[in-house]
Amino acid sequence: GQCITHCPVGALRERDDTEKVWEAIADEKKTVVVQIAPAVRAAWGEAMGMKREDATVGKILDAWKRMGADYVFDTSFSADLTIMEEATEFLERFQNGSLNNWPMFTSCCPGWLRFVKTQFPEMVPQLSTAKSPQQMFGAVMKTYFAQSIGVDPENIVTVSVMPCVAKKAEANMDFYYKEYAGKDVDIVLTTREFTRMLRETHIRPEVLTDRKPDSLMQEWTGAGVIFGATGGVMEAALRTAYHALSGKNPDPDFFHDIRTVNEEYALTEANLDFNGTTVRTAIVSGLGNTRKLLEAIRRGDVSYDFVEVMACPGGCVGGGGQPICDGKELAGVRGENLHFLDRNSKIRFSHENQDVAKLYQDFLEHPLSHKSHMILHTDHNAWSMHEEQ
Ligand code: SF4
């Protein structure tokens, strides 16, 4: 099919931030540090005319180095970090009874955050306080990583490539504690903007080779990769929460296979036996479905302990910043691609990511430590998202 990188009739106007990235790359005083979200690897090849299996994240990292980025990373790393924080937070809330009949909700999707704050404000305290992988990575780049390379955080420009238009607004939310001036993430590009940049350079996709992320924050796991597909955050968090409770790893596919679907709200739910304790989980994507679910929770018709919400149908793989291909719905195929990558990855548990373990050991101490709270978490009552970003 024919894929476009921006709307041919100009109906779809979006802010173009590629120029800012070129300026940062051209500025010798600046160190440009790039992260690529999991969902981008499942879609960028569509816009570049590549076969799905050839369009790896390693080639995106290579492309960025050729375009002049100083350091390149995979957001799957900080997805693992998010899981460490969020799974620990869930267990803490679950075990000390602070859920108050309503579930803990995931917090990594800014479309969902905006929705809950405006439509169901009474549920805001139920949100996980964990920042999203994008924001966590930016924060760690300007602290831990900046220290390790001996660069003043003021001279670091953090760039992310996201499947999502709302991630631009997320990066601008003013709710973060900072030890440095400026934002966690300075420039957010969509997948479409990235492929447009790549075309401007005339770098042909055939010359790109698989490149690893730079060291210190290099390792990623299959659990981090599935963040990009609906249900992936829940699945990754349950793998780690199970380990934290029982001291052993579950079958990594356990939480995938036992899902059941509630057709009415395209809702997936499961009651999980967690070492003798039952954890009731639900996964929903698309805001229409989310509204139905939240109304049912409010009425007391259903009851869960942990709920994952993604604003885009199918999760981030179907995000608004992804290539548009003949108007076809590609979220399903792209999501399967991420699960394929997970099944074939060496490490499938966030708690086994050695670079994340080192980050805790050398810098953050442990999940939910004071430092982790300051750098990786937020107060949802303290921020507002600007409408036009
Ligand atoms: Fe963005 Fe959609 Fe993913 Fe939410 S589900 S983070 S709005 S791409």
Mutate to test the pocket of ligand 1, among 114, 167, 230, 290 (most ligand atoms within 8 A of CB): 167
262: pLDDT confidence band, cut at 50, 70 and 90? low
What's this model's pTM, rounded to 2 decimal places?
0.93
13: pLDDT confidence band, cut at 50, 70 and 90? low
Q: What is the pLDDT of residue 9?
A: 40
| Angstrom distances, CA of residue 20 to CA of 140, 166, 188, 189, 354 | 22, 18, 10, 10, 34
pLDDT at 12 over 70: no
pLDDT (average), residues 46-62: 93
Query: What share of the chain in percent tops pLDDT 70?
Result: 89
Q: Name the residue ranges covered by the structural domains of the chain.
A: 13-78+132-218+354-376, 80-128+222-316+330-350
pLDDT (average), residues 177-201: 89
Tell me the C-alpha distance between 233 and 350, whole Å.
11
Contacts of 262 (CB under 8 A, 6+ apart): 268, 269
- Its ipTM equals 0.99
List the Cα angle 231/115/160 in 5-degree steps: 65
pLDDT (average), residues 12-33: 90
pLDDT at 328 over 80: no
Q: What is the pLDDT of residue 305?
A: 93
Which tokens belong to 66? 């050729």
Tell me the C-alpha distance between 266 and 336, whole Å.
17
**13-78+132-218+354-376 topology per CATH:** Rossmann fold (3.40.50)
SS3 per-residue string spanning the chain:
CCEECCCCCCCCCCCCCHHHHHHHHHCCCCEEEEEECHHHHCCHHHHHCCCCCCCCHHHHHHHHHHHCCCEEEECHHHHHHHHHHHHHHHHHHHHCCCCCCCCEECCCCHHHHHHHHHHCHHHHHHECCECCHHHHHHHHHHHHHHHHHCCCHHHEEEEEEECCCHHHHHHHCCCCCCCCCCCCCCEEEEHHHHHHHHHHHCCCHHHCCCCCCCCCCCCCCHHHHHHHCCCHHHHHHHHHHHHHHHCCCCCCCHHHHCCEEEHHHCEEEEEEEECCEEEEEEEEECHHHHHHHHHHHHHCCCCCCEEEEECCCCCHHHCCCCCEECCCCCHHHHHHHHHHHHHCCCCCCHHHCHHHHHHHHHHHCCCCCHHHHHHHECCCCCCCCCCCC
Q: What is the pLDDT of residue 204?
A: 92
Asked whether 57 and 36 are in contact (CB, 8 A), the reply is yes
Q: In what order do the strands lie in the sheet with 71-74?
A: 71-74, 31-36, 156-162, 187-190
Q: 228 CA to middle of ligand 1, Å?
A: 9
Q: What superfamily in CATH does domain 80-128+222-316+330-350 come from?
A: Fe-only Hydrogenase (Larger Subunit); Chain L, domain 3 (3.40.950.10)
Tell me the C-alpha distance between 326 and 28, whole Å.
41
| Cβ of 113 below 6 Å from ligand 1 | no
Q: What is the pLDDT of residue 255?
A: 73
pLDDT: which is higher, 358 or 335? 358
Tens of pLDDT along 71-114? 999 999 999 999 999 999 999 999 888 887 799 999 999 999 99
| Cβ of 316 below 6 Å from ligand 1 | yes
| Cβ of 164 below 6 Å from ligand 1 | yes
pLDDT (average), residues 225-251: 90
| Angstrom distances, CA of residue 78 to CA of 36, 86, 146, 220, 318 | 11, 12, 16, 8, 21
Which atom of ligand 1 is the closest one to the Cα of 167?
1
> Whose CA is closest to atom 3 on ligand 1?
316
pLDDT (average), residues 32-58: 93
